[in-house]
Structure 1
């Protein structure tokens, strides 16, 4: 049985997705984040699965043989918080997060309530570091 990756790049409209977000504040923040991520990566926003806005992509292959494609970085304006997706295993992140502002962290995610809680210059540094890390780890990105 081959593993079917759930989160794939789709042709869905990023704008339509953002417009479907209930909270007007979250919609506003999502548009701000699209600008910040686009500027920091040089990639345009694409939908990955039903709810992740991703930038760039890379192909990974684990020792287990599991492989797939994922966005280099991305975010999702979820109901409770906004999830920011950076490279899993990226080690310098903790250092940058000290000056990031109000957030919580998960395995590959950083969660924020709103963009005004965080330092945008630190966000750009986190994005660039994550992209660089993935492009070095997976050179065919």
Structure 2
């Protein structure tokens, strides 16, 4: 028995791996957004038709019928959603700015190059280097 996913007769070849220089990040940063809607059906349709990713949990509806969700989306999409007015859009964080700051903290070089120098960290020294 041959499964459909096996590379049998007539199976398509896997896509070639892309190589080369990464494209520059566009000027449209990714933002974390809190969406709030009072109409659950319209809120559901908005989520299904808008390009977004859920930050952690899916949408929730409280006892009063107010739907909320924490999502990640491009700033231009968030601005357009705010203009449409179907849901209330609150930008809580700009993730692209955080990544730029984190990249600056990454050191250069090989911290293990000299065996006589111990790298800093939370480890416990079990024996002295020889």
Range class of TM-score, shorter chain = under 0.3
Q: By percentage of residues, which structure has more helix?
A: 1
Query: Which of the pair has more CA radius of gyration?
Result: 2
After TM superposition, the score normalised by the length of structure 1 is 0.23
After TM superposition, the score normalised by the length of structure 2 is 0.24
